[in-house]
Structure 1
Amino acid sequence: MRSPGTTRPAAESEPGTALRDTLRYALRTPTIGPLAALAVAVLVFSVTTDTFLAPENLSVVLQQSIVIGTLALGQSLIILTAGIDLANGAIAVLGTIVMAKLVFEGSNAAGALLIGLAVATFLGLVNGLLVARLGLPPFIVTLGALSVIYAVSRLYSDSRSYPVTNDLLVFWGNGVDLGGVLVTWGTFLLVGLYAFFWYVLTKTAWGRHIYAVGNAPESARLTGINVPRTVLSVYITAGLLYGVAAWQALGRIPNADPNAYQTANLESITAVVIGGTSLFGGRGSVAGVLIGTLIVTVLRSGLTQAGIDSLYQDVATGTLVIVAVGVDKVFRRGGTR
């Protein structure tokens, strides 16, 4: 029998402590939660549909992940600085229009490609200047850019699409057959990009500066980090990645359409957030973003295979974002205690 002043051991007073701590650790670890969610999604759709694991469908899942994955990579760099980019899909679409229309009108394919990449990078620069130098909110800047860039795409294309047959522009859509699954060169490029930025974010001063700015910009400034320059460099890099996504998109579907990728911004944000990157900045990993991209594409494919209407798929995607942000908020707040 305990004396009146004796305190119960934590394990006795709170039987669920160990389980709760384990769950909290898993949710705080950037890749464990997303990886488990991906495994569950694959298992569920494998059991509930007859076609999900078919080689043809797996090929489509991989191909669908390429453009969103590249957009999500650029998006993740911006979100790590506590920003957001609502215009990334629009930038990629304008990039496809520029590349395809120039070639359609007789320009050299390599020159058209470089111009398309330059346009996307320039738009990233403009957004970065407005955010980093003028101090405007990233949400407002990129929301305005979203409308402007989609309008420019329609004006520049005369609201028509341009078929693409040039080998250079559709290069990333070619690939090799591995066990019945077509793995495109774009897939290899995506993996290479993620490996490169994993190294940059974890092994270089620039990567450490990005995390520092996202965690506490004032503290980063006091330690000698040039915060505006770091933020500007992130938007420029993201713009270049959006240009690469445009090139990949032409390999995925050899047709430049000003109405394409209307929900790419939401899907890229979803991939970043459910991949464990905090919308509040300073926490996340590119490995988690890659897993998040696969979750988004697996969810889309699985629901399509199950015959679910695309509108309900949008509902599911939006719900995922809200849940992921809510979980991040709860555990981020819990970690400050």
Structure 2
Amino acid sequence: MRPMLATPTSTIPAGDRWQHEVKWDGMRVLADVRDGEMRLFSRTERDVTVAFPELRGLAAEYADMLLDGEVVSMRDGIPSFAALAERFHVTDARRAAALAEASPVTLMTFDLLRLYGVDLLTRPWSDRRSTLERLDLASPRWQTPPTFGDGASLHAATKEQGLEGIVSKRVDSVYVPGLRSPYWLKSPHRGTVSVVIGGWRPESTGTVSSRLGAVLVGVPVAGGLRYLGRVGSGLAGKAGQALMSDLRELSVGESPFATDVPREDAAGTTWVRPVLVADVESLGLGGQGRLRQPAYKGLRGDLTPDDVDGHEGGA
């Protein structure tokens, strides 16, 4: 089952029909507890249980439950997506255990979808939430953060604290798996979007270089990708080296973009199969439909191109 998703908004809803939560900069998961075991599934329904052994203790809390939440890695009290990214693809139990010991994650639970075999999806959010709170899931490795009635104040507070933003939820909303719902609204502070990589250019040094200088990115539309621009910032050092090793295996002869790529961007570009999803920070879209001052944050190993909204970037 895929989790229900929030719709971006520029207006924070007010009134007693809405409650508001902190938006965590982490990895969305469903935690399925049954028969004395706990399994974690990503947004793409991939089993990622082995990557987070520090969360297995959830199985001892209750005999049967299905939780929706976000796995976060804290750095100086602030969630760090970059710190979490190295955990996405870990499939070796020994390496996962070492990472968990050195830098354990925390599961922020915010919804309850099943309890003791009873399906709660069609119950209103307020009922599911009150039941979740009564479970009293509180430990260093998992917790249920509070909700707030004043969305505007929470939005301001999270901005001051350097958090990602807020999510606003209609108290009468049911849970529809896989739906990007108008009854869940997200208001991030940073302009972070998920994009698909369609090509790469070498570093411009005046000489021939095999080092990664920039990637060309877009979002899915009919016939390919809609071009959103070239991203070079954030690719220096290990981040660029790691991405380059993935891109080399994906080279193709034709552009995957369905819209025009400017000649100056296409020159020297190696096109790749559009299968890698990355997060990019920017100042939104400029007049030509290009990302303004984009910066690479990291690959989203928990997403596929099908999970990327064709309207990302603000268009």
Q: TM-score range by the shorter chain?
A: under 0.3
Determine which structure has the larger strand proportion and give its number: 2
Task: Answer 1 or 2: higher relative contact order, Cα 8 Å, separation at least 6.
Answer: 1
Task: Report the structure, 1 or 2, having the larger helix content.
Answer: 1
Q: Normalising to structure 2: TM-score of the pair?
A: 0.27
